[in-house]
Amino acid sequence: MNSVSKTVDLFAAGLNCSQAILKVYGEAFGLDSETATKLGRPLGGGMGHMARTCGAVTAAVLVLGLAKDNQDEGAARKDSFFHVQELFRSFEALHGSTECKTLLGADMSTEEGLKKIKEEKLVSRMCPKFVSDAAEILEKLLV
């Protein structure tokens, strides 16, 4: 099973979008599974269910930071900023936004939005694709 599939499977098994990305990709850079799960926990739902930046995208940003650890700080910062910008551009090109409430068409930070998300099963129907796409973009940037 490839890494992209693993992230989707972990998401389907109950991890949030951030946890799935961090758990699969963080390991290559020394992030253990337990720490990845803890770090990703508050990022789900667009940062603590505030419906802001997609947790899969946020986790990918953190992995990019881990990946640049073998460079001096100036080069690492420059490379990281470039790759983060490319991540956002690529994800937005696919989905029109990186914002959770825009991606889902409902704002989980509101009672009304959360009700719509649950009734229409938006997270289970839509988020696997967001997780998959964030993982695929991340893989391209890690090369």
Give 3-28 pLDDT, tens digit per residue: 999 999 999 999 999 999 999 999 99
What is the domain partition of the chain in residue ranges?
A: 3-142
The C-alpha atoms of residue 67 and residue 70 are separated, in whole angstroms, by: 8
Query: How many whole angstroms separate alpha carbon 102 and alpha carbon 68?
Result: 30
* 44 neighbors 17 (Cβ within 8 angstroms): yes
Check residue 69 and give its pLDDT: 72
How many angstroms separate the CA atoms of 84 and 78, rounded?
10
Give me the residues of the chain with pLDDT under 50, please: none
Q: Is residue 3 exposed (0-12), middle (13-18) or buried (19+ Cβ within 10 Å)?
A: middle
In the chain, which ranges are E strands?
A: none
* pLDDT at residue number 76: 85
pTM score of the predicted model: 0.95
Are 45 and 83 spatial neighbours (Cβ–Cβ below 8 Å)? no
